[in-house]
Copies of this chain bind each other. A is one copy, B any other.
Amino acid sequence: MLGNVTEPLDPEMFAGCHESPPLIRIGDKWTAKIIRCLESGPRRFSELQVPLRGINPKVLTSTLRAMERDGLVSRTAYPEVPPRVEYALTPLGRSLREPMAACCAWSAAHLPDVMESREAAYQPARRASA
Protein backbone atom coordinates (compact mmCIF):
# COMPACT_ATOMS: atom_id res chain seq x y z
CA MET A 1 0.00 0.00 0.00
CA LEU A 2 1.14 3.51 0.54
CA GLY A 3 -0.12 4.43 -2.89
CA ASN A 4 -0.58 8.06 -3.74
CA VAL A 5 -3.99 8.25 -2.15
CA THR A 6 -5.18 9.33 1.24
CA GLU A 7 -1.91 9.71 2.99
CA PRO A 8 -1.83 12.72 5.27
CA LEU A 9 -1.02 15.93 3.46
CA ASP A 10 2.37 17.36 4.14
CA PRO A 11 1.84 20.42 6.33
CA GLU A 12 4.90 21.97 4.75
CA MET A 13 3.98 21.33 1.15
CA PHE A 14 3.65 25.05 0.56
CA ALA A 15 6.37 26.00 2.97
CA GLY A 16 8.20 28.41 0.67
CA CYS A 17 5.09 29.59 -1.16
CA HIS A 18 3.21 31.44 1.52
CA GLU A 19 5.22 34.55 2.05
CA SER A 20 7.38 34.47 -1.06
CA PRO A 21 6.43 35.99 -4.41
CA PRO A 22 2.84 35.21 -5.32
CA LEU A 23 3.29 33.46 -8.66
CA ILE A 24 4.71 36.59 -10.27
CA ARG A 25 2.36 39.25 -11.43
CA ILE A 26 0.59 37.38 -14.19
CA GLY A 27 -2.55 36.86 -12.21
CA ASP A 28 -3.47 40.51 -12.20
CA LYS A 29 -5.92 42.15 -14.49
CA TRP A 30 -3.76 43.58 -17.24
CA THR A 31 -0.33 41.92 -17.49
CA ALA A 32 -1.35 39.05 -19.72
CA LYS A 33 -3.22 41.34 -22.07
CA ILE A 34 -0.28 43.70 -22.32
CA ILE A 35 1.95 40.80 -23.22
CA ARG A 36 -0.38 39.86 -26.01
CA CYS A 37 -0.40 43.46 -27.22
CA LEU A 38 3.38 43.45 -27.40
CA GLU A 39 3.76 40.14 -29.18
CA SER A 40 3.53 41.84 -32.54
CA GLY A 41 6.27 44.34 -31.76
CA PRO A 42 7.05 47.41 -29.67
CA ARG A 43 4.15 49.67 -28.82
CA ARG A 44 3.71 53.15 -27.52
CA PHE A 45 1.92 53.99 -24.33
CA SER A 46 -1.09 55.45 -26.07
CA GLU A 47 -1.17 52.56 -28.49
CA LEU A 48 -1.62 50.17 -25.62
CA GLN A 49 -4.52 52.13 -24.23
CA VAL A 50 -6.65 51.42 -27.28
CA PRO A 51 -7.29 47.66 -27.09
CA LEU A 52 -7.22 47.94 -23.32
CA ARG A 53 -10.41 49.92 -23.50
CA GLY A 54 -8.96 53.19 -22.39
CA ILE A 55 -7.45 51.76 -19.22
CA ASN A 56 -6.61 54.76 -17.11
CA PRO A 57 -3.00 55.89 -17.30
CA LYS A 58 -2.17 55.36 -13.66
CA VAL A 59 -3.02 51.69 -13.82
CA LEU A 60 -1.27 51.18 -17.13
CA THR A 61 1.82 52.91 -15.84
CA SER A 62 1.98 50.94 -12.64
CA THR A 63 1.45 47.67 -14.48
CA LEU A 64 4.16 48.48 -17.00
CA ARG A 65 6.55 49.56 -14.26
CA ALA A 66 6.02 46.30 -12.43
CA MET A 67 6.61 44.33 -15.61
CA GLU A 68 9.75 46.34 -16.22
CA ARG A 69 11.03 45.64 -12.71
CA ASP A 70 10.45 41.94 -13.32
CA GLY A 71 12.31 42.07 -16.62
CA LEU A 72 9.29 41.25 -18.76
CA VAL A 73 9.28 44.45 -20.79
CA SER A 74 11.79 47.09 -21.72
CA ARG A 75 11.03 50.79 -21.79
CA THR A 76 12.67 53.10 -24.29
CA ALA A 77 12.10 56.84 -24.09
CA TYR A 78 13.11 58.86 -27.13
CA PRO A 79 14.29 62.38 -26.31
CA GLU A 80 11.90 64.05 -28.68
CA VAL A 81 9.17 66.52 -28.39
CA PRO A 82 6.44 65.56 -28.07
CA PRO A 83 7.82 62.63 -26.07
CA ARG A 84 7.71 59.13 -27.43
CA VAL A 85 8.08 56.00 -25.35
CA GLU A 86 8.07 52.46 -26.58
CA TYR A 87 7.53 49.28 -24.66
CA ALA A 88 8.75 45.95 -25.95
CA LEU A 89 8.82 42.38 -24.71
CA THR A 90 12.12 41.09 -23.44
CA PRO A 91 13.09 37.48 -24.15
CA LEU A 92 11.93 36.72 -20.63
CA GLY A 93 8.56 38.29 -21.29
CA ARG A 94 8.30 36.45 -24.57
CA SER A 95 8.95 33.18 -22.80
CA LEU A 96 5.72 33.68 -20.93
CA ARG A 97 3.78 32.98 -24.06
CA GLU A 98 4.21 29.25 -23.47
CA PRO A 99 2.42 28.97 -20.15
CA MET A 100 -0.06 31.55 -21.37
CA ALA A 101 -0.79 29.41 -24.40
CA ALA A 102 -1.38 26.42 -22.14
CA CYS A 103 -3.89 28.43 -20.12
CA CYS A 104 -5.61 29.71 -23.25
CA ALA A 105 -5.82 26.19 -24.60
CA TRP A 106 -7.45 25.04 -21.41
CA SER A 107 -9.94 27.87 -21.54
CA ALA A 108 -10.78 27.17 -25.15
CA ALA A 109 -11.31 23.51 -24.37
CA HIS A 110 -13.10 23.71 -21.03
CA LEU A 111 -14.65 27.11 -20.58
CA PRO A 112 -17.98 25.84 -21.92
CA ASP A 113 -17.95 23.15 -19.23
CA VAL A 114 -17.33 25.75 -16.57
CA MET A 115 -20.09 28.00 -17.82
CA GLU A 116 -22.49 25.09 -17.96
CA SER A 117 -21.65 24.04 -14.44
CA ARG A 118 -21.96 27.61 -13.26
CA GLU A 119 -25.36 28.09 -14.79
CA ALA A 120 -26.58 24.78 -13.44
CA ALA A 121 -25.62 25.96 -9.98
CA TYR A 122 -27.99 28.88 -10.30
CA GLN A 123 -31.00 26.59 -10.87
CA PRO A 124 -31.81 25.52 -7.31
CA ALA A 125 -33.50 22.16 -7.67
CA ARG A 126 -36.09 22.78 -10.35
CA ARG A 127 -37.72 19.36 -9.83
CA ALA A 128 -38.23 19.63 -6.10
CA SER A 129 -39.76 23.09 -6.02
CA ALA A 130 -42.06 23.03 -9.06
Contact = CB atoms under 8 A, between A and B. Distances in A.
Interface of A: 4-14, 17-18, 21-24, 26-29, 32-33, 36-37, 40-43, 47-48, 50-53, 68-72, 92, 95-96, 98-99, 101-103, 105-107, 109-111, 113-118, 121
Contact of A71 (B27, B98, B103, B117): B117
Contacts of A24: 107, 111, 114
Given A21-B111, A71-B113, A14 B106 contact: no
Given A14-B52, A69-B121, A103 B41 contact: no
Nearest to A106: B99
Copies of this protein chain in the complex: 2
A4 B103 contact: no
Nearest to A11: B50
B10 A117 contact: no
A114 B114 CA distance: 33
Nearest to A54: B11
Contacts of A23: 32, 103, 107
B51 A13 contact: yes
A36 B47 CA distance: 39
Contact of A110 (B28, B92, B102, B117): B92
26 contacts: A4-B40, A5-B41, A6-B40, A6-B42, A7-B40, A9-B37, A9-B40, A9-B47, A9-B48, A13-B36, A13-B51, A14-B33, A14-B51, A14-B52, A21-B111, A21-B115, A23-B103, A26-B27, A27-B28, A70-B114, A71-B114, A71-B117, A92-B110, A95-B110, A98-B102, A99-B102
